[in-house]
Amino acid sequence: MVKAIVGANWGDEGKGKITDMLGQEADIIVRFQGGSNAGHTIINKYGKFALHLLPSGVFYDHTTSIIGNGVALNIPYLFNEIKSIVDRGVPSPKILVSDRAQIMMPYHILFDQYEEERLGGKSFGSTKSGIAPFYSDKYAKIGFQVSELFDAEALREKVDRVCEMKNIILEHMYHKPAINPDELYNLLLDYKKMVEPYVCDVAAYLHEAIKNGKSILLEGQLGALKDPDFGIYPMVTSSSTLAAYGAIGAGIPAYEIKNVIAVAKAYSSAVGAGEFVSEIFGDEADELRRRGGDGGEYGATTGRPRRMGWFDAVATRYGCRMQGATEVALTVLDVLGYLKELPVCVGYEIDGVVTKDFPTTVKLAKAKPVYEVLPGWNQEIRGIKKYEDLPENCRKYIEFIEKEIEVPITLVSNGPGRDEIIKR
């Protein structure tokens, strides 16, 4: 049984918490795309952790955590992340890394920084983790697969060939120091040592696991609106954030994904540049940011303040549809208890016409939010375990959202902890 846990919005929806919770009953958790550019925050008996590359299952001794072929694998980062959790008392997790995963090279990270510098005010608001240069190289067929570390001769030849090309760009476009191919080659030999214990034919492993009826979670990063095809292009990430890509990025048949849990936040937040129709500003935004998430809405990787907004039913319905959501987990609802009124964006006005369909970026830039205002519940809802025990206006808010997004909300998260969840 394969389940995908993916974002319905712009990321930071609380997928980490939902994966951590569902991981209690899972045998295997797979990361299938993205890299160390986004973080999951997880709170459990060992403490509070911000994971960037490791799947959220690493805290369980019964789960195997997998870095799928679709991931941008930063090897020293992975190595240090494993060390950092083990140093804090978490038992050594069982980790497998796909032999077909590609390696984040130090120059990818540099190119990301140099390009943001070059673009100045027109930058994409990249986290500068090298993601865009990494995926560009993968599809330009000059990336390095983990498997290639194990053929020394071919590796050496390829390092020279790739450096030649990268150095021309470094010198002439960015006016930065060249890469030394000898140093890069030696670094890759170090990478090989770091990753060797974890390398595995993951597709074959998962094939067996599915045959044996194992429970598998695919853990997505970011959200539908950051997908390169269906998101707010070009202010998107460089790998598909959709559940469908989970099949490719893990190496399993598409038809095995039976269940897609789209995680949606009870209000909106986004990092980086890009259209954000229901965005709010000033004191209103500051207050929500300060109260939001667990200790404020600041990026788990970058610490950047997140942009805040009201719940956007247009974007979320679209996000759920593109994810193929079979159910929705609505998170951080507890944060909204201070509000007297809750605007929900139910339509976009574009050139005088109101639509409920999420448009392409060109039209999105002209969209103005159409709000329906719901009454608040003015109450702390943390600690509530049963749906019926939620204040009436809170239930009305959930049910209103459910009707708008057209997918059943089966999980309501009312606190950052693993057990702070209401099942419907």
Q: Is 112 exposed, middle or buried (0-12, 13-18, 19+ CB in 10 A)?
A: buried
Rounded to whole angstroms, how far apart are CA atoms 293 and 297? 6
From 37-45, 278-286, 315-323, 341-349, span contacting ligand GDP (CB under 6 A): 37-45
Q: Give the nearer residue to ligand GDP in terms of CB position, either 266 or 367.
A: 266
How many C-beta atoms lie closer than 10 Å to residue 229's C-beta?
11
Q: Which residues contact 38 (CB under 8 A, 6 or more apart)?
A: 11, 12, 52, 127, 221, 222, 300, 301
Rounded to whole angstroms, how far apart are CA atoms 403 and 387? 17
Helix (H) or strand (E) holding 204: helix 202-211
DSSP state of 317: H
According to the binding rule CB under 6 A, does residue 268 interact with ligand GDP? no
Q: Give the nearer residue to ligand GDP in terms of CB position, either 160 or 286.
A: 286
Cβ pair 262, 329 in contact under 8 A? yes
According to the binding rule CB under 6 A, does residue 15 interact with ligand GDP? yes
* Residue 96: closest CA among 3, 189, 184, 216: 216
Q: Give the nearer residue to ligand GDP in terms of CB position, either 11 or 68.
A: 11
Report the nearest approach of ligand GDP to the CB of residue 68 (Å): 17
Scanning residues 38 to 57, which ones bind ligand GDP (CB under 6 A)? Answer: 38-41, 43
Rounded to whole angstroms, how far apart are CA atoms 1 and 399? 29
Rounded to whole angstroms, how far apart are CA atoms 57 and 31? 10
According to the binding rule CB under 6 A, does residue 27 interact with ligand GDP? no
Q: Binding marks (x or -) toward ligand GDP, 285..324, rule CB under 6 A? A: --------xx-----x------------------------
DSSP state of 298: B
Structure tokens at 424: 């419907």
Q: Give the nearer residue to ligand GDP in terms of CB position, either 39 or 57.
A: 39
Report the nearest approach of ligand GDP to the CB of residue 326 (Å): 18
From 6-14, 23-31, 148-156, 253-261, span contacting ligand GDP (CB under 6 A): 6-14
Scanning residues 383 to 422, which ones bind ligand GDP (CB under 6 A)? Answer: 413-416
Q: Is 12 a catalytic residue?
A: yes
Scanning residues 189 to 228, which ones bind ligand GDP (CB under 6 A)? Answer: none
Report the nearest approach of ligand GDP to the CB of residue 141 (Å): 30
Q: Is 229 a catalytic residue?
A: no
Q: Are strands 64-67 and 102-103 parallel, antiparallel or unpaired?
A: unpaired
**Residue matched to tokens 């060797």:** 196
**Residue matched to tokens 């569902």:** 22
Exactly one of 40, 52, 112, 137 is catalytic; name it: 40
**Binding residues with ligand GDP: total (CB under 6 A):** 24
Rounded to whole angstroms, how far apart are CA atoms 304 and 288? 15
Q: Give the nearer residue to ligand GDP in terms of CB position, either 114 or 318.
A: 318
According to the binding rule CB under 6 A, does residue 332 interact with ligand GDP? yes
* Residue 237: closest CA among 4, 10, 6, 8: 10
Q: Degrees (nearest 5) of the Cα angle 195, 196, 201?
A: 100
Q: Which of 8, 12, 101, 315 binds ligand GDP (CB under 6 A)?
A: 12
Report the nearest approach of ligand GDP to the CB of residue 11 (Å): 6
Helix (H) or strand (E) holding 4: strand 2-7
Q: Give the nearer residue to ligand GDP in terms of CB position, either 13 or 81.
A: 13
Report the nearest approach of ligand GDP to the CB of residue 338 (Å): 12
Rounded to whole angstroms, how far apart are CA atoms 360 and 219? 26
Q: Which of 4, 16, 34, 72 binds ligand GDP (CB under 6 A)?
A: 16
Exactly one of 12, 20, 27, 99 is catalytic; name it: 12
According to the binding rule CB under 6 A, does residue 381 interact with ligand GDP? no
Q: Degrees (nearest 5) of the Cα angle 74, 158, 70?
A: 35
Q: Give the nearer residue to ligand GDP in terms of CB position, either 216 or 264.
A: 264
- Which residues of this chain interact with ligand GDP, rule CB under 6 A? 7, 11-17, 38-41, 43, 293-294, 300, 331-332, 334-335, 413-416
Q: Which residues are catalytic?
A: 12, 40
